[in-house]
Amino acid sequence: MVVQATEATDYEFLSDLETNLIPVDFGASNWVDHEVFRKLDSVDKIYDAVYVANYKQIKRHHVLFRAVHELKDPTYRVALVCTPWGGTKQTVFDLMDYFGVRNNIVVFEGLPARKVNEVLNASKVCVLLSLKEGSNRSLFEAFFADVPGIVLKSNVGVNKSYFNQFTGRIIEEDELAPCLSYFREHWNTFRPRAWALANISAPVTTRMLEEVLQQLATKRGEAWTAGLRIKVNRPEVELLEPVADDSLPVAKLFTMFDRQSGCSAAEIERHLLSNA
């Protein structure tokens, strides 16, 4: 059984077990629909930061509000994109008042994916402030919208190897305020979409999963005759492209690029953007 384990310690633990649980280091972050979450050149940057979350305490909204308070800048704007559930909505608003940042925060609730993409495009950096949760998706939806991200070094769950000079920063919690200030001025020096398309897009991840499955099949003496269709989360699982004939086998090869072609990042981006 193949297990998606984006957290490095989970991956190492499963590997050390030496059982039939085969870990891979990709997960929800790798199945973002790059056609929905994409760069919109017509959208201006009106938010200095964005946090896509819910109202649960696990999201630790107070960390963001405290950092904005430390900036002491009434012009600093944050988009808080929330699902309208979580049970602690009033607490979140009370925290805004406690830190004196209510006027800095613009709250959106229950937006469909394409509207979320618009808010991401209007933002300079996306943050994740939880300490532990499953494989996060919002940071990487931001990457595909060409918005860099900030994740805490102490977070458990996010694949931190996805953060680099092109995509964003891994920071200590007490570095958040100065980091927000940095991205306010330097957000346009990052290139997260190009990196994400070349390294963690659904087509690229599908090829990586195919290779794992093919190796497992070969090891068991089974024939490998076809690849996989590409799936994405919209927000639930769907095929990237519709299949005209439902009678086709599920394992029909549906790979955009030949594994041996060695396509460059630019070629991958041009091909994917042509379908956007």
Give the bridge partners for 80, in sequence order: 51, 107
The answer, yes or no, to whether residue 242 has pLDDT greater than 80, is no
Structural domain of residue 58, as residue ranges?
37-190
Does residue 205 lie in a domain region? no
Q: Which residue has the higher pLDDT, 79 or 135?
A: 79
Res 173: pLDDT: 98
pTM of the model: 0.84
Per-residue confidence band for 243, with pLDDT thresholds at 50, 70 and 90: low
Query: In Å, how far from its chain's centre is CA 79?
Result: 17
Q: What is the DSSP letter of 275?
A: T
Q: What pLDDT was estimated at residue 267? A: 54
Q: What is the DSSP string of 125-194?
A: -EEE--SB-S---HHHHHHHTT--EEEETT-BSS-GGG-STTTEEEE-GGGHHHHHHHHHHHGGG--HHH
CATH number at residue 171: 3.40.50.2000
Structural domain includes residue 134: yes
What are the angstrom distances between the C-alpha of 66 and each of 124, 176, 180, 230, 232?
Answer: 19, 9, 12, 41, 35
User: Considering the domain boundaries, does residue 10 fall inside one?
Assistant: no
Q: Does residue 57 sit within a domain?
A: yes
Q: What is the pLDDT of residue 265?
A: 47
pLDDT of residue 255: 34
Asked, for residue 213, whether it belongs to a domain, the answer is no
Token pair belonging to 132: 């532990």
Can you tell me the mean pLDDT for 49-69?
96
Q: Is residue 129 part of a domain?
A: yes
Number of independent structural domains in the chain: 1
| Average pLDDT along the chain | 87
Would residue 115 count as lying in a domain?
yes
Copy the structure tokens of residue 77.
């704007």
Report residue 270's pLDDT band, with 50, 70 and 90 as the boundaries: low
Average pLDDT over residues 127-132: 96
Higher pLDDT, 246 or 217: 217
